[in-house]
Amino acid sequence: MGEFELIRQFFMPLARLHGPHSIIVGPGDDCAIQRVPSGSDLVFSLDTLVEGVHFPFHYRPDYLGWRALAVATSDLAAMGADPTSYTLALTLPEADESWLRGFACGLGKAADAFGLVLAGGDTTRGPLALSLQVHGLIPRGAAILRSGARPGDLVAVSGTLGDAGAALDYLGAQACSDPQSFSADEAFVLKRYHHPEPRLELGAGLRGLATAAIDISDGLLADLSHILEASSVGANIEVARIPVSAALKRLKGTGARDYALHSGDDYELCVTIPEANWTGAPPSLKQQFTVIGVIEEAPGLRLDGAAVVSESDTLGFDHFRRKS
């Protein structure tokens, strides 16, 4: 199969979204064209995933398609943007049709779930890697940045933390194995890793309410620290308040806390919100969040009043930093 046949067969179908969208020219021309309504800002973000670095070797292609787009789209959720389109740069060792079918299926399911249409891409041969650029729209000036947190704001997180990190313990060589060979709790955390769900409705619901937001990809401490740095503030977190799933508690016992603090891949949101905005927020939105702490003037991150001293806790994952 040639490059153009491959694009035609597996990716062109993803360029047709059921329902209205703002792509005027999709794949097939020199560029794609998306119309940006006046009064909107275009919000976009690029993520690259490399086999063996961001996902295991021989990872199931349908899982990869979903996970790659979900991870990229999570950044739109963290800004409060509504997804519109994406482009895909795919590097493949070979044109394996069954792999491509699985990948396109997972990707298409995710795109439909998030309201994204494929606008174009690039296809090359080499070690397996993909880059996804996602585009979204937001009313002008309404994007939620990392830099808006102010002393007194509450710190809240969505969902439960640590699940996807715990899944890494069960992935190992079993990345392709039958999910039914796992216990219900193991299957729960594995699903959290394989099938992240960007918190798009929550992000959009926080417009005008939250002062800062970030999606938790590297771990709560690391990602909250990015907000603190960008906003020139500090925070105190009450560790006992951090939401942890029953499955994680059963699997890891007292160790669950460390997963919730340090491990990433959950793609939940961490937000700061003035108390008055929190009080007045719709109950349906508040239900999805847990308040875990407060923003303070003194820089640095504290857990139950004690400073977090380890740099590796607050810096998060860095591809180029040497491990000590």
List of residues contacting ligand ADP (CB under 6 A): 7, 11, 27-30, 88, 90, 118, 120-123
* Least distance CB 90 / ligand ADP (angstroms): 5
* Least distance CB 123 / ligand ADP (angstroms): 4
Counting DSSP H helices and E strands in the chain, the numbers are 12, 13
The two tokens of residue 14 are 């993803």
Nearer to ligand ADP, 49 or 301 (CB): 49
Nearer to ligand ADP, 120 or 264 (CB): 120
* Least distance CB 229 / ligand ADP (angstroms): 36
The two tokens of residue 144 are 């939620």
Question: Which residues fall within 8 angstroms of residue 47, CB to CB, at 6 or more apart?
Answer: 68, 71, 72, 75, 131, 132, 133, 134
Nearer to Mg ion, 30 or 178 (CB): 30
Using CB distances below 5 to 8 A depending on partner kind, what does residue 78 bind out of ligand ADP, Mg ion, none? none
How would you classify the pairing of strands 234-237 and 300-303? Answer: parallel
Using CB distances below 5 to 8 A depending on partner kind, what does residue 122 bind out of Mg ion, ligand ADP, none? ligand ADP
Indicate which single residue of 30, 184, 240, 310 sits in contact with Mg ion (rule: CB under 5 A).
Answer: 30
* Least distance CB 29 / Mg ion (angstroms): 8
Instruction: Tell whether residue 29 is a contact of Mg ion (CB under 5 A).
Output: no
Question: H/E element holding 199?
Answer: none
Is residue 248 within 8 Å of 256, Cβ to Cβ? Answer: yes
Nearer to Mg ion, 29 or 178 (CB): 29
* Least distance CB 267 / ligand ADP (angstroms): 24
Using CB distances below 5 to 8 A depending on partner kind, what does residue 127 bind out of ligand ADP, Mg ion, none? none
* Least distance CB 201 / ligand ADP (angstroms): 27
Using CB distances below 5 to 8 A depending on partner kind, what does residue 11 bind out of Mg ion, ligand ADP, none? ligand ADP
Q: Which of residues 296-315 bind Mg ion (CB under 5 A)?
A: none
Q: Which SS3 state, helix, strand or coil, does residue 256 take?
A: helix
Helix ranges, 150-252 (H)? 163-171, 184-194, 200-205, 220-231, 246-252
> Which string of b and e fits 189-210 if b means at least 16 CB within 10 Å?
bbbbbbebbbbbebbbbbbebb
Q: Alpha-carbon dihedral of residues 51, 54, 58, 60, nearest 10 degrees?
A: -130
Nearer to ligand ADP, 33 or 176 (CB): 33
Q: How many Cβ atoms from other residues are within 10 Å of residue 322's Cβ?
A: 5
Please give the residue ranges that form the binding site for Mg ion (CB under 5 A): 30
